[in-house]
């Protein structure tokens, strides 16, 4: 599907409450003698400047794990990992170089081919080398990710498996980051998407630089912009299949989103969840329970929140506080657990008794479950098979709780 629209460039304005406002003028990198290395250093120090969460949430937040990383095809400018185990390869380019426009696409795809040949151990070694050389600390992948998020030890094997699978499948986000994406570059990207033997799409991120008012050393304001004139380049992920470099084929994994025609597509996070689930449980009918539960609850107005080892069924606070109420946690190991709903209801000023009744009905439905005296919640989760055998009743318990929450919000 081609999504096309006019690029909208606008100059920022500095509002001075005690003086005249200042309209900022955009600078070229040549004016301030900014080099590609400056770009590399910028996104290494501040990876959050790259709007990856708008491109594909599974790849965010970015954790820098590589700088000029050697491969057989050359050095990757910047390498990133997300706490969920997704890999981003970034190539920085100044578009003043004519050869950059011709070579950047082939270059970054060659890097993807090379990285798809790495094992987890090889990536771990490269991350340790990066941390030792750049930050003087002997840290591997998990220690690097923990600098961004708290990661429980029980989750580590899942992250390792995800990274290993993404390496094997070449499931990467490729970012070309530049000072200005020219029309010719956009046309080139559009042309490549129509080339049958290539079949990939790139995410192009433009960094616009403005000079702020100052006496001598004027500070710079850097604004990122996703270029979206060509075929959904901002939403694409390269998938490299085949182990022999000379016979690599490239395809596209797309995200879940509702387009104008109302059709849906899968996110990498969702695909990864159900792929792992299929390996963890034998009966396909049980895998179907998770899919049906997700779809049925979304029809009730719930929102699915993806996590490293689960997805959570949440209900937006009917009073419009912006908070969400977690109803159910659906794990990759094939079990379901009620969330601690009472505390959440208390926070938004709704009756906690709804949560107690919800938990009691859950306990009465399944044998061998008691209310934990320590937590005040059911003592264990239930398997997909247990749910499948009484699915309609289980669904009705959740719907009843949702209905009571909405009614209470009206009072």
Q: Higher-confidence residue: 99 or 155?
A: 155
Question: Distance between CA atoms of 84 and 171, rounded to whole angstroms?
Answer: 13
C-alpha to C-alpha distance for 338 and 330, rounded to whole angstroms: 9
**Average pLDDT of the residues in 185-192:** 52
Helix axes 284-299, 391-410, angle to 10 degrees: 20
pLDDT digits 0-9 by tens, 200-236: 446 778 777 887 776 666 778 877 776 643 333 334 4
More confident residue, 293 or 238: 293
What pTM was estimated for this model as a whole?
A: 0.65
Longest alpha-carbon distance in the chain: 74
Spatial neighbors of 37 by CB under 8 A, at least 6 apart, are none
pLDDT, mean over the chain: 78
Highest mean pLDDT among 132-141, 188-197, 266-275, 308-317: 132-141
Scored b (16 or more CB within 10 A) or e, 207-229 reads: bbbbeeeeeeeeeeeeebbbbbb
Predicted pLDDT of residue 126: 97
| Sequence-separated (6 or more) residues with CB below 8 Å from residue 343 | none
User: 123-150 pLDDT, tens per residue?
Assistant: 999 999 999 999 999 999 999 999 888 8
In which band, very low, low, confident or very high, does the pLDDT at 188 lie, cut at 50, 70 and 90?
low
Q: Distance between CA atoms of 130 and 128, rounded to whole angstroms?
A: 5
pLDDT at position 70: 95
21-39 pLDDT, tens per residue?
Answer: 777 777 766 656 677 888 8
Name the residue with higher pLDDT: 339 or 144.
144
Contact 21, 235 (CB under 8 A): no
181 or 234: which leads in pLDDT: 181
- Please give the pLDDT value at position 340: 84
Distance CA 265, CA 253 (A): 9
Most confident of 144-158, 202-216, 380-394: 380-394
């Amino acid at each position: 599907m081609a999504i096309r629209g006019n690029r909208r460039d606008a100059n920022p304005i500095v509002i001075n409450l005690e003086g005249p406002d200042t309209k900022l003028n955009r600078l070229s990198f040549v004016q301030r003698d900014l080099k590609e290395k400056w770009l590399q250093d910028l996104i290494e120090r501040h990876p959050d400047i790259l709007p990856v969460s708008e491109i594909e949430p599974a790849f965010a937040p970015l954790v820098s794990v590589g700088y000029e990383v050697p491969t057989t095809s050359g050095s990757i400018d910047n390498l990133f990992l997300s706490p969920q185990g997704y890999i981003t390869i970034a190539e920085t380019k100044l578009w003043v170089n004519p050869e950059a426009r011709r070579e950047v696409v082939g270059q970054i795809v060659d890097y993807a081919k090379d990285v798809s040949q790495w094992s987890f151990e090889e990536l771990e070694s490269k991350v340790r080398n990066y941390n030792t050389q750049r930050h003087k600390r002997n840290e591997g992948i998990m220690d690097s990710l923990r600098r961004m998020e708290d990661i429980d030890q029980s989750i580590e094997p899942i992250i390792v498996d995800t990274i290993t699978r993404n390496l094997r499948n070449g499931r990467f986000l490729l970012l070309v980051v530049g000072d200005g994406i020219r029309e010719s570059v956009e046309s080139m990207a559009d042309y490549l998407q129509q080339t049958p033997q290539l079949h990939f799409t790139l995410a192009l991120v433009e960094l616009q630089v403005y000079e702020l008012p100052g006496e001598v050393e004027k500070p710079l304001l850097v604004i990122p912009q996703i270029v979206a004139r060509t075929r959904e380049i901002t939403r694409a992920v390269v998938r490299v299949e085949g182990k022999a470099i000379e016979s690599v084929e490239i395809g596209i994994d797309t995200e879940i989103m509702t387009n104008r025609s109302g059709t849906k597509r899968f996110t990498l996070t969702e695909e990864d969840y159900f792929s792992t689930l299929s390996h963890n449980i034998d009966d396909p009918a049980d895998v179907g329970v998770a899919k049906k539960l997700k779809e049925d609850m979304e029809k009730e107005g719930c929102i699915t929140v993806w996590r490293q080892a689960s997805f959570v069924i949440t209900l937006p606070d009917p009073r419009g506080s912006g908070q969400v109420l977690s109803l159910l946690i659906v794990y990759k190991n094939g079990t379901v657990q009620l969330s601690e709903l009472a505390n959440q209801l208390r926070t938004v000023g709704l009756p906690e008794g709804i949560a107690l009744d919800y938990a009691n009905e859950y306990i009465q439905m399944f044998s061998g479950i008691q209310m934990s005296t320590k937590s005040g919640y059911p003592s264990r989760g239930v398997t997909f098979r247990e749910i499948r055998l009484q699915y309609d009743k289980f669904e009705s318990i959740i719907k009843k709780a949702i209905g009571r929450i909405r009614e209470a919000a009206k009072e």
